Amino acid sequence: MTAAQTRLSLQRFIEAAQATITAHAEELTALDQAIGDGDHGHNMVRGFDAMREAAAEIGAQPFGKALQKAGMTLVMKVGGASGPLYGSLLMAMGKAGDEAPEDISTLAGIFAAGVEAVKARGKSEAGEKTMLDVLVPVQAALVAGGDATAVRAAADEGLASTEAMLATKGRASFLGERSIGHLDPGARSSALLVHAVCDVLEEE
Amino acid sequence: MTDNVSIVIVSHSPEVAKGAADMVRQMVGEEVRVAFCGGNGDGGLGTDVAAILEALQSVYTPKGVAVLVDLGGAETNSEMAIEMLPEGQAENVKICNAPIVEGAVMAATEAAGGAALSVVCATAEEFQS
């Protein structure tokens, strides 16, 4: 991929991410009202709108620096815990890869660095009804060399698995057993973003 | 300018943050520097990394800064803001695992006596209502 193509792609990824978050903002808020504080939709829109506004500036940077800038934009703008969590994901990915990955195993390695950063930031692991229940299966699908269809399926299965889980992290943990039976809003936003990225990759 | 540990209060609510800071000031007057912040960038409930960073820097001293937070996002955003401080400052800033109002008052009272950051945090964390 040439530098110009990378620049184009990053802008398209940002546009696709912002579009899906905007389209599903009310759904994210409704999920968060059930088991959290009901601000996930608004917070994500604020963060991804800011990223969209900075898309040209972000896209002008090399891949690694661009991801770090995109992550920092989310950290500074989201206003909830999801800001540092998504921000840490992108910033760690940016630090792990200076250049855009040219094969799936390189992408898997870069993504793994991001997922580790989310675990550290959230002091969490998969199985606790969080975004990690989507990110960790996606990482496994990438390691297995899966295509966009396999990656989307991993995200969807991970998201579905959160419904039966007991929340032990975040505000949903205050509900105890009553958190069971609801999808996790962070897992939902993660699945939406994974779909958006896969859709753009397929169009490339 | 005092050389006591400073206090930073981070709540989802600007009113809670200000109220807790008012209670601290009532206890310790000007002997301890106190900063507070609350609310997201749009003025709603939430926390804002930029505002937390500003609050930390407004009262930073090498003696230390004790940070009191309310719920999860306040802690995560405070951890992020602490990491963004200029090099060498983060090690002098600690988040106390204590209730925000009681913890802030206990921490400030201990800080007013000139205690070290570790002692200030321990006092806040030992608080039992």
> Greatest CA span in chain A, whole angstroms?
51
* Buried-state track B49-86, b at ≥16 Cβ within 10 A, e below 16: bbbbbebbbebbbebbbbbbbbbbbbbbbbbbbbebbe
Predicted local distance difference test score (pLDDT) of residue A117: 98
Range of the domain at B113: 6-126
Report the residue of chain B nearest A82, measured CA to CA.
Answer: B73
pTM for this predicted structure: 0.92
Range of the domain at A124: 3-203
- pLDDT lower than 50: segments of chain B: none
Work out how many domains chain B is built from and give that number.
1
How close A46 comes to chain B (CA, Å)? 9
Cβ contact (<8 Å) for B49 and A121? no
Report the residue of chain A nearest B47, measured CA to CA.
Answer: A79
Predicted local distance difference test score (pLDDT) of residue B1: 53
Structure tokens at A47: 């963060």
User: How many secondary structure helices (H) and strands (E) does chain B include?
Assistant: 5, 4
SS3 at position B8: strand
Q: List chain A pLDDT tens, one digit each, 204 residues.
A: 455 555 667 899 999 999 999 999 999 999 999 999 889 999 999 999 999 999 999 999 999 999 999 999 999 999 889 999 999 999 999 999 999 998 999 999 999 999 999 999 999 999 999 999 999 999 999 999 999 999 999 999 999 999 999 999 888 899 999 999 999 999 999 999 999 999 999 887
The closest of B82, B54, B67, B65 to B6, measured between CA atoms, is B65
Predicted local distance difference test score (pLDDT) of residue A171: 84
Predicted local distance difference test score (pLDDT) of residue A203: 86
- Which CATH number does the domain housing residue A177 bear? 1.25.40.340
Are the C-beta atoms of A148 and A190 separated by less than 8 Å? no
Distance between CA A43 and CA B30 in Å, rounded?
Answer: 36
**List of chain B residues whose C-beta atoms are within 8 Å of the C-beta of residue A171:** 71-72
* Domain membership flag for residue B59: yes
Q: What is the DSSP string of A43-93?
A: HHHHHHHHHHHTHHHHHTS-HHHHHHHHHHHHHHHS-STHHHHHHHHHHHH
Interface of B with A (CB under 8 A): 12, 40-42, 44-50, 71-73, 76-77, 79-80
Are the C-beta atoms of A32 and A40 separated by less than 8 Å? yes
- Which CATH number does the domain housing residue B32 bear? 3.40.50.510
Long-range CB contacts (within 8 A, 24+) of A52-55: A52/A14, A52/A15, A52/A18, A55/A10, A55/A11, A55/A14, A55/A15
**List of chain A residues whose C-beta atoms are within 8 Å of the C-beta of residue B72:** 81, 169-171
* Domain membership flag for residue B1: no
The DSSP 8-state label assigned to residue B94 in this structure reads E
Distance between CA A178 and CA A181 in Å, rounded?
Answer: 8
